[in-house]
Amino acid sequence: MLHNFSMADYIKLHIPEGINFDCTGCGNCCFSWPVPLTDGDVAKISTLPLKEIQDGTLQLQSIGKPGTLQENVFTKALGKRPDGKCQFLLLDNQCKLHRDYGMEAKPAMCRLFPYTFTETPTGVYAAASFASTGVLFNAGRPLSEQREHLGQTYKLFKSLFPDLIPDWKSIQLIDGQPLSYDSYELIESEILSVLKPSVDSHRRVEKSLISISQKVSSQVLVPRDFDHIAGIEAKPKVVDQLLLKGLCDAYFPPDVYQDNVCTFDSAALARALVMPPNKVLLSLGSKQISFGEIVGYRLGPLSSESEALLLRFAYLKVFSKLYFGPGFAGLSLVSGINHLSTIIALVRIILKAENLEKKPRGETISFDVVAEIVRKLERRLTVVNFSKEAKMVLEVLFASSKRVERIFSLSD
């Protein structure tokens, strides 16, 4: 008897609960994002009877930086039309390549988006990017019902990144204290039980993360006082503000879609820690906003839909392990949890800053506004390329649960 085994049968594929996705046809991923191409994509598109090929109007751009993973995989990108849209996006937001020649005619990255895969010693963890409208709105079928498709998409992922194998042997509870993967799994199961999407969508997910961080930090063998570090002249609250400023500059630049690499200016932060400014200002577009203004503006309660989005965001980052270790900047588990809590608090701080002049204090912010800020944040997290120095600074500053508690209070 013959059996039709799928890719998902050969790998241990872990799929998150409560996460849905189907394409909404919004066209966002074909508008704001560059479409990278492999050599195979270029060759395949060049064989199609396209008008753009025949009249020589197909635009291709060279991409990638020497020595980067991107350069090794993607060599070109589709040029955009003057309106910023992909050359093959039709007026009804359909893809011309997909409509006329089938799914396989689309570039590999288009077929992969928005799915992500993280390989671990216990299997492959599937997830999805919050840069996608469908994921933001949790629209469509549960990922748990897409096992066959996820298996095939993982096969595509491996064909693109065969050498991308995370090193889970070097993870740490905190800098200098190793953590075995088995021990991590025990901690993770407890974290996920707290973050799992549920009917209780009014709770602030940062509170849960702070409690988790405090509990995990109790396992640190040599506790340290991260509010009094030799050489740092800035007071603890000023350090918090300087850290938030650095994160805001990294994750919310004037145009998140133009800058395709997210870096963190650790040198500027280090100088400010030694010689603190009289006032710390957040830069948002053309605005300079003080923390006094942010503290003075009380953000109204977010809708249950918005709180559910932030909860899903945190849950999926932990499930996919894209928040610490090889999943994010090499951070230790404690610093990774605290960074995750901080960037969610930063979403609220950005909401406060953007609404200082628009809405009365305490007025409800719409879900669409929250979703777009999360989309921008996800876009930047996707292209993080922190230097060794930046990772060291972030590791130290995020090792303090007290710091995250203070940052949480700024986001109210």
Domain positions in the chain are: 1-17+114-165, 22-109, 168-410
What is the CB-side half-sphere exposure of residue 163 using CA atoms within 13 A? 5
Model pLDDT, residue 330: 97
Mean pLDDT to the nearest integer, 114-121? 97
Model pLDDT, residue 5: 36
SS3 246: helix
- Highest mean pLDDT out of 69-73, 135-139, 364-368: 135-139
User: Cα(7)–Cα(109) distance, rounded to whole angstroms?
Assistant: 19
User: Cα(201)–Cα(208) distance, rounded to whole angstroms?
Assistant: 12
Q: Is the pLDDT of residue 66 over 70?
A: no
Model pLDDT, residue 74: 87
Q: Is the pLDDT of residue 135 over 80?
A: yes
User: Cα(89)–Cα(110) distance, rounded to whole angstroms?
Assistant: 12
Q: What's the whole-number average pLDDT of the chain?
A: 90
Q: Which residue has the higher pLDDT, 181 or 358?
A: 181
Q: Is the pLDDT of residue 226 over 90?
A: no
User: Cα(329)–Cα(327) distance, rounded to whole angstroms?
Assistant: 7
Mean pLDDT to the nearest integer, 76-105? 90
For residue range 258-307, what is the model confidence (pLDDT) as tens digits?
Answer: 767 899 999 999 999 999 999 999 998 888 999 999 999 998 889 999 99
Contact 380, 250 (CB under 8 A): yes
Q: Which of 117, 125, 129 is CA-nearest to residue 156?
A: 117
φ, ψ for residue 269, nearest 5 deg: -65, -45
Mean pLDDT to the nearest integer, 384-388? 95
Q: Is the pLDDT of residue 51 over 60?
A: yes
Least confident of 23-32, 267-276, 305-314, 383-392: 23-32
Model pLDDT, residue 233: 87
Q: Is the pLDDT of residue 125 over 80?
A: yes
Model pLDDT, residue 200: 55
Confidence of residue 213 (pLDDT cuts 50, 70, 90): very high
Q: Is the pLDDT of residue 229 over 90?
A: no
Mean pLDDT to the nearest integer, 132-142? 97
Would you say the pTM of this structure is higher than 0.75?
Answer: yes
Taking residue 23's Cβ as centre, other Cβ atoms within 10 Å add up to 16
Q: Is the pLDDT of residue 313 over 90?
A: yes
Name the percent of the chain lying above pLDDT 90.
Answer: 71
Mean pLDDT to the nearest integer, 88-101? 92
Confidence of residue 203 (pLDDT cuts 50, 70, 90): confident
Mean pLDDT to the nearest integer, 388-408? 96
Mean pLDDT to the nearest integer, 317-328? 98
Model pLDDT, residue 2: 37
User: Cα(211)–Cα(203) distance, rounded to whole angstroms?
Assistant: 13
Q: Which of 330, 335, 347 is CA-nearest to residue 384?
A: 330
Least confident of 2-6, 36-40, 268-272, 277-281: 2-6
Q: Is the pLDDT of residue 69 over 70?
A: no
Confidence of residue 230 (pLDDT cuts 50, 70, 90): confident
